[in-house]
Structure 1
Amino acid sequence: MINQAQHAASRRRIIFALFLLYFVFAILLNSVGTVILQVIKTYGVSKSAASVLEAFKDIPISIVSFCVASFLPRLGYKYAMLTGMAIVTVSTAAMPLLPGFLMTKLLFLSVGVAFALIKVSVYATIGLISADRKQHASLMNTLEGFFMVGVLSGYWIFGNFIDANDPASPVWLQVYWLLAGLCAVTFLLVATTSFTEFEAKLSVSHSSLLTDFADMLKLMARPLVCVYIISAFLYVLLEQGIGTWLPTFNNEILKMPVDMSVQATSIFAACLAIGRLGAGAVMRKLNWYLVLNICLISMAALVLLTLPLTHNIVANPDLRWSNAPLAAFIFPLIGLFMAPIYPGINSVMLSSLPTNQHAAMTGLLVLFSALGGTSGSMITGYVFGAMNGQTAFYLSLLPLSIILLTLFFFKRAIERVD
């Protein structure tokens, strides 16, 4: 009885540590849209130049996750988490000390490297502490929901450090002292938490590093994995394209002040958080495929109904929340329907594999998610600059349509495995 109580307490502490890790990285990763807006204002860089910040974040995620995912069970998930937190603690503290566009690039590069270590470790740990597929899906959705709570918090944290009277002021860099402190606290929590990794280490104890890496590559030859990777890639392309450029869309298309533009984007993050936290309960009662198809069709309908409201908006010097454009409140609701898709397909995929393959599968997921994020941000930024924000967001209908198709093949592949 005592052992059961100790095991339950240990599991709760591990889950809390995982949630705090994701909360911190939610703020850092999704600050890129706000930071793009601020470096344009503060350092005078162009939109196309600023859009590379997404690549500085996502390309390191891709490379590191691909190279080290199969190796992490040997290294230890806890050690990987501590390494990631140490990297971001140093880089966030450096932001206000060495202000400049170069340091901003280095920050997102370090965040990308660290997150590759964190995400593979966190996803693999979920597999180790989940008793069955339902528990795995519930914990995955709650974790991703808490991630969006961090995203939501980040918009308001950054918004409070921006000088509304002088958007070009570098005072917003002071937010990184707060973030460095949060990173340090998270590092200490992980360092003092005991992680059970025996099962993961046992699975690689009789194989070589080369064999582990080859096994990860072999996963890509499976039709199920190929369809899953395409679905995940397109989803992240879609989410990052909207999330990264929504602050700039609010500022330039809806004519909102910079601080309000950033804070209005928190509606999108709040909807993602609510959608993901509620998705676990919904998907326990309804088939995942039905839920995700309803979500995709609802997203397309919202795009078609809302974007026409964003044309011919005139700047209002007395703009307040009470008289802000209606589209600023309606379009971010797309997050409610977008929310269940990513954790839904991830949980279905990982639950179909043995736990010793979760780290390798997550490595592939992180790789293609990062590539999708970079592609989405850069494509949206290019269209935004070359044409306009409405056209950039209308393009979201293309990946939406393709995801509808890939989910059909994903469902068929899962049924064959089961």
Structure 2
Amino acid sequence: MNQIGQAKCLGGASEREAEVLHSRTLIKGLTYVMFLVFAMTTDAVGVIIPELIREFSLSHTAAGAFHYVPMAAIGLSGILLGFLADKFGRKLTVILGLILYALACFLFIAGSTFGFFVALLAVSGVAIGVFKTGALALIGDISSSGREHTSTMNLVEGFFGVGAIAGPALVAYLLANGVSWKYLYVIAGGICMGLVVLAACVNYPVTQGAHRPQVDLRRTLAMTRNPYALGFSLAAALYVGTEAAIYVWMPTYLLGYDGSAVWLASYSLTVFFVLRAGGRFLGGWVLQRCRWTAVMLWFSAAIFLCYLGSMIFGVGAAVYLLPLSGLFMSMMYPTINSKGISCFPKGEHGTVAGVILFFTALAAAAGPLLMGVFSDLMGGDARYGFYLATVFAGLLCLGMLYNHLRNPTRQLLAALEASEYSGRSSE
């Protein structure tokens, strides 16, 4: 009888483990598609803006609101609402954000004025900030170690890279067939509603951890003074400022190129996105086997050299080096984000993710704007804006050199590895 009872217990435990594994697989899939969908809309802006200029007779500065407004909304949402995932749970936060995002997307079909579309982008930015912080916090809940957390984050950002390729391609396809660019948002809204159903049905893991402080906006604002949160946030901002230079201004910089690689200049942005996406999938494998501080130093140095070479040798070198930088950028942001979040207990992952997201979105909006202003001050040549981006890349490399030599987070990450990833359970 004892053996029979023991066998039943083992069988029940095995079934529970299988159920937990199934739930975690679904959660990962849900997270991957969430990042893919919002990348489809945010990174398709470069293709939509020329249509806006033609349709509404806008200046470049006014049309640029399609980029600046959602980025600002994402940043504000991250800093002001990032604590929701810690206070009310990952599931409710993700579902709330997805529903709001889907509604904003569907309303594009009902609008016809530029101001209305910009308002919808502001709402969608708030929604992205809500479900993204929930998803980023969720990655910690389903990770068994800090190393797995970083690897998963790279895979998530890999799917974001796929969305960054798919979105512009879908807009180009719609326009080529006489269909309005607005249907990109309708398609994204439809996918989001499917994600809402999946998110509602999945069993989410219980947030583990020995430390669960009072979670509110005051705690979020106080976290901006934490040296780890601030350090990783500034690193993320420098990276994003460097990266945004590529997808906002590289096509303009290469516009006058007439050398032997004209085809590469024409498809430079696509090449960059493909290398960035492919590198992120590779990053999940590399970071499981190499010391993360060394990888970050090598890759940040390679990015800086790509920019420096482009500035020293001119557009003839930039046509090769700037798209190539995407391969080295691939692991930078997800790893910075992962390690920054991992410096805090799981009960605060949503809050710190919101803080880093704020600095990320601020840099995504301000970086290209400063580059444009600097280029205009120097006579309108986009090359001068890339001088500023090269400074961003150099500062990022110096930061990664300090991180590798001093490794200031080693003891903290080791302590949290022991306290936060020692055991997991599922609802």
TM-score between the two structures when normalised by the length of structure 2:
0.82
- Equivalent position of 2:398 in the other structure: 405
- Equivalent position of 1:22 in the other structure: 35
Distance 2:247 2:395 in 1: 20
Distance 1:139 1:330 in 2: 28
Cα deviation, 1:48-102, whole Å, max 9, x if unaligned, reads: 2222333211222222221222233232222222222222222222223313321
- Equivalent position of 1:117 in the other structure: 130
- Equivalent position of 2:297 in the other structure: 293
1:238 to 228, 242, 259: 242
Q: CA RMSD in A?
A: 2.8
- Equivalent position of 2:335 in the other structure: 344
Residue 161 of structure 2 aligns to a residue in which SS?
helix
Residue 82 of structure 2 aligns to a residue in which SS?
helix
1:149 to 162, 171, 174: 162
Structure 1 segments unaligned to the other structure (5+ residues): 312-325
Residue 172 of structure 1 aligns to a residue in which SS?
coil
1:48–1:385 Cα contact (<8 Å) kept: no
2:141–2:206 Cα contact (<8 Å) kept: yes
- State the percentage of identical aligned residues: 24
Identify the range of structure 1 (93-102 vs 111-120) with the bigger mean alpha-carbon deviation: 93-102
Deviation at 1:327, TM superposition (A): 6.0
2:207–2:346 Cα contact (<8 Å) kept: no
Distance 1:242 1:265 in 2: 8
- Equivalent position of 2:349 in the other structure: 358
Task: Output the amino acid matched with 2:397.
Answer: L
Residue 155 of structure 1 aligns to a residue in which SS?
helix
Task: Output the amino acid matched with 1:348.
Answer: K
- Equivalent position of 1:226 in the other structure: 230
- Equivalent position of 1:193 in the other structure: 202
Question: Are 2:166 and 1:175 equivalent residues in the alignment?
Answer: no
1:87–1:114 Cα contact (<8 Å) kept: yes
Residue 96 of structure 2 aligns to a residue in which SS?
helix
Deviation at 1:309, TM superposition (A): 5.7
2:49 to 36, 44, 51: 36
2:279–2:330 Cα contact (<8 Å) kept: yes
- Equivalent position of 1:322 in the other structure: none
Deviation at 1:235, TM superposition (A): 1.0
Deviation at 1:198, TM superposition (A): 5.1
Compare CA radii of gyration and give the structure with the larger one.
2
Residue 182 of structure 2 aligns to a residue in which SS?
helix
Identify the range of structure 1 (119-128 vs 51-60) with the bigger mean alpha-carbon deviation: 51-60
- Equivalent position of 2:369 in the other structure: 378
Task: Output the amino acid matched with 1:414.
Answer: T
Structure 2 vs 1, CA of residues 334 and 355 (structure 1 numbering), >3 Å: closer, same or farther?
A: same
Distance 2:347 2:68 in 1: 30
Deviation at 1:171, TM superposition (A): 3.0
- Equivalent position of 1:275 in the other structure: 279
Deviation at 1:277, TM superposition (A): 0.9
Question: Are 2:80 and 1:89 equivalent residues in the alignment?
Answer: no
1:128–1:355 Cα contact (<8 Å) kept: yes
Identify the range of structure 1 (55-64 vs 110-119) with the bigger mean alpha-carbon deviation: 55-64
Aligned pairs, how many?
Answer: 390
1:42–1:170 Cα contact (<8 Å) kept: no
Distance 2:168 2:105 in 1: 17
Matches of residues 133-144 of structure 1 in structure 2 within 5 Å?
A: 133-144=146-157
Deviation at 1:13, TM superposition (A): 0.7
Deviation at 1:147, TM superposition (A): 1.0
Distance 1:248 1:41 in 2: 18
Task: Output the amino acid matched with 1:235.
Answer: Y
Cα deviation, 1:330-388, whole Å, max 9, x if unaligned, reads: 53221111111111122222223221121111111111111111111212333455522
Distance 1:293 1:92 in 2: 39
Deviation at 1:41, TM superposition (A): 3.0
Residue 131 of structure 1 aligns to a residue in which SS?
coil
1:50 to 63, 72, 78: 63
Deviation at 1:110, TM superposition (A): 1.8
Residue 409 of structure 2 aligns to a residue in which SS?
helix
Residue 180 of structure 2 aligns to a residue in which SS?
helix
Question: Are 2:322 and 1:310 equivalent residues in the alignment?
Answer: no
Cα deviation, 1:302-343, whole Å, max 9, x if unaligned, reads: 2344465637xxxxxxxxxxxxxx965653221111111111
Residue 396 of structure 1 aligns to a residue in which SS?
helix
Distance 2:185 2:256 in 1: 29
1:33–1:247 Cα contact (<8 Å) kept: no
- Equivalent position of 1:318 in the other structure: none
- Equivalent position of 1:314 in the other structure: none
Deviation at 1:248, TM superposition (A): 4.8
Structure 2 vs 1, CA of residues 341 and 219 (structure 1 numbering), >3 Å: closer, same or farther?
A: same
Residue 327 of structure 2 aligns to a residue in which SS?
helix
Deviation at 1:254, TM superposition (A): 4.9
- Equivalent position of 1:7 in the other structure: 20
Cα deviation, 1:269-328, whole Å, max 9, x if unaligned, reads: 1111111111122222222222222222222332344465637xxxxxxxxxxxxxx965
Cα deviation, 1:203-259, whole Å, max 9, x if unaligned, reads: 65xx655xx444433433333332212111111122223223345556x4459xxxx
1:51–1:378 Cα contact (<8 Å) kept: no
1:155–1:263 Cα contact (<8 Å) kept: no
1:25–1:115 Cα contact (<8 Å) kept: yes
Structure 2 vs 1, CA of residues 15 and 262 (structure 1 numbering), >3 Å: closer, same or farther?
A: farther
Distance 2:242 2:113 in 1: 29
Distance 2:283 2:88 in 1: 33
1:156–1:262 Cα contact (<8 Å) kept: no
